[in-house]
Amino acid sequence: MDSQQISYVKGETGSTLFDQTIGDMFDQAVVKYSDRELLVVCDQGVRWTYGEFSERVTTFAAGLLTLGLEPGDRVGIWAPNRAEWVITQYATAKAGLIQVNINPAYRLSELEYALNKVKAKALITSENFKSSTYIAMLQELAPELDSCQPGALRSAKLPHLKTLIRLGEDKTAGFYNFDDVTARADATSIAKLKSVQDSLDPYDAINIQFTSGTTGAPKGATLTHHNILNNGYFNGQVMKFTEQDRLCIPVPLYHCFGMVMGSLTCVTHGACMVFPGEGFDPAQTLKAVSDEKCTALHGVPTMFIAELDLPDLKSYDLSSLRTGIMAGASCPIEVMKRVFSEMNMTEVTIGYGMTETSPVSFQSRVDDPIDKRVSTVGLIHPHVEAKIIDENGNTTERGVKGEFCTRGYSVMKGYWADPERTMEAIDEDGWMHTGDLAIIDDEGYCNIVGRLKDMVIRGGENVYPREVEEYFYRHPKIQDAQVFGVPDDKYGEELCIWICLKPGEQATETEMQEFCKGQIAHYKIPRYVQFVAEFPMTVTGKIQKFKMREQMIRKLGLREAETA
């Protein structure tokens, strides 16, 4: 069987991969585009050119080195979309520090786990965001902060964390302010920064992003300069990006969508990144597009639906829009058609990938036929391979469903401090086994049709039921719990939990939801709670979640959304 008949595709290799660090590439971009706008943050009133932004990056990076941080140390960032987040992204890359992206929705147990897993030495945080009071949570985890000097934390629960840096101008015991760190930079530390940057290798780990785990605890996908710099570049190439483009980024920076497909895509093309605000708001987003004459807009389908549903949609001038990426979940066909016609995004692309692959491996092209853009995730990315395999590990014929595997520059180094789960995900030939079920057609277009495991994608957020189940097992009344997804018009999927209580116990739906608040991220809290005496099982004792899902769909009167 030749390669045209089997489900194997390889991206073009005529283009050149970046073989340099993010810091070196960034410095070259600054020289080339010095006076062009790089960063606009609407709600902060920030408007910086490449040159102005570079000065802030250099001084903050040099300031970090004065705190005793060394290349390879892990520095967490726990904050929504702000200018300081983007400064931190490039400053840590220049200083060889491994930036650890912490989900702004994380609560106490998730934060404690993440910081200790990577042995983070420093953490940069906002004061609060939405219902999350970050500093108050940190003070609860580490009450020692109240009586320690900045940079000298000795915490029982967070034994590796020494230095905390807060955004904003208010002062907090035990914390440096972000601007304090910048002010520490001097000629000596800037010279040291240059020496450190010159010593770095493109294949060094530079970023850890947590993905939910199938067996409870999140996994830290460890990515290199080489991984994410190249993926950001090729995302832009597929969208035909140039220095004339202005990308509106309402997706979160902590995620690959914002940090790689947003920030790095812009810097590798001399383009401008525009952040409407700290979190997503549809009106704020379209106002930013209109005011800043953005040519591109990113988002998960839920975001585009919210924008299209604005009653005053026609009042925003979206005539500058051309392209962007819709990713993170299946896109309803009617939504894609409206994005073309009502938002002027005739060259919008669909992207598919995962954090472990930097993230994108398939993307539709700006000139693909509409039917391909609404029914597939496009074609293979440059320098990336993909194949579909059956249960025996054999590559399937074209058009035959199987597990999607990918290989190439984009595959992560591994899961941080977790060789066992790394070996489960990446085989000895370098193939990343994604757990997604897919089909590759005769023309090489890929369609994601399901998941081997029971991951739920709620509004672009991956939720692994096992992680939520593990949390519920802590409840003293619960004997067993099973979590699964059911269809939802707004988020694509919502979480449902079936609970078996211990003999003699009683509980309510509200009690179970309250048990989660403040402990796990809001999107992991089940919307539907069902108390049952038993679960449907096979004769061999395997729980049949698909039967639970079918029952709940009937009971709640839900319907499966028509998706691309």
Please give the class, per CATH, of domain 456-556. alpha beta
Could you tell me where in the chain the CATH 3.30.300.30 domains are found? 456-556
3-state secondary structure 482-536: EEEEEEECCCEEEEEEEEEECCCCCCCHHHHHHHHCCCCCHHHCCCEEEECCCCC
- Please give the average per-residue pLDDT across 360-387, as a whole number: 94
Query: 198: which 2 tokens?
Result: 């010159």
Nearest of 298, 247, 299, 302 to residue 270 by alpha carbon:
247
Query: Can you give the pTM of this predicted structure?
Result: 0.86
388-434, pLDDT tens digit by residue?
999 899 999 999 989 999 999 999 999 999 999 999 999 999 999 99
Name every residue whose Cβ is closer than 8 Å to that of residue 249 and which is 6 or more positions away in sequence. Answer: 81, 258, 262, 263, 273, 274, 275, 298
**What one-character-per-residue DSSP string does 326-366 give?**
E-SSPPBHHHHHHHHHHH--TT-EEEEE-GGGSSEEEE--T
State the Cα–Cα distance between residues 239 and 181, nearest whole angstrom.
Answer: 37
Q: Read off the pLDDT band of 480 (50, 70, 90).
A: confident
149-186, pLDDT tens digit by residue?
999 999 999 999 999 999 999 999 999 999 999 999 99
Distance of CA 394 to the CA centre of its chain: 31
Alpha-carbon distances, residue 499 vs 232, 404, 502, 512, 535 (angstroms): 43, 33, 10, 10, 9
State the Cα–Cα distance between residues 435 and 438, nearest whole angstrom.
Answer: 10
SS3 370: helix
Could you tell me where in the chain the CATH 3.40.50.980 domains are found? 48-219
243-297, pLDDT tens digit by residue?
999 999 999 999 999 999 999 999 999 999 999 999 999 999 999 999 999 999 9
Query: 202: which 2 tokens?
Result: 């493109």
Query: Looking at residue 214, what is its pLDDT?
Result: 39
Please give the class, per CATH, of domain 48-219. alpha beta
**b (16+ CB within 10 A) / e for 426-444:** beeeebbbbbbbbbbeeeb
Query: Looking at residue 563, what is its pLDDT?
Result: 46
State the Cα–Cα distance between residues 354 and 368, nearest whole angstrom.
Answer: 22
The answer to which of 354-363, 469-478, 508-517 has the lowest mean pLDDT is 469-478
Phi, psi dihedral angles at 27 (to 5 degrees): -60, -40
State the Cα–Cα distance between residues 331 and 207, nearest whole angstrom.
Answer: 29
Is pLDDT at 346 greater than 50 in this prediction? Answer: yes
State the Cα–Cα distance between residues 353 and 375, nearest whole angstrom.
Answer: 16
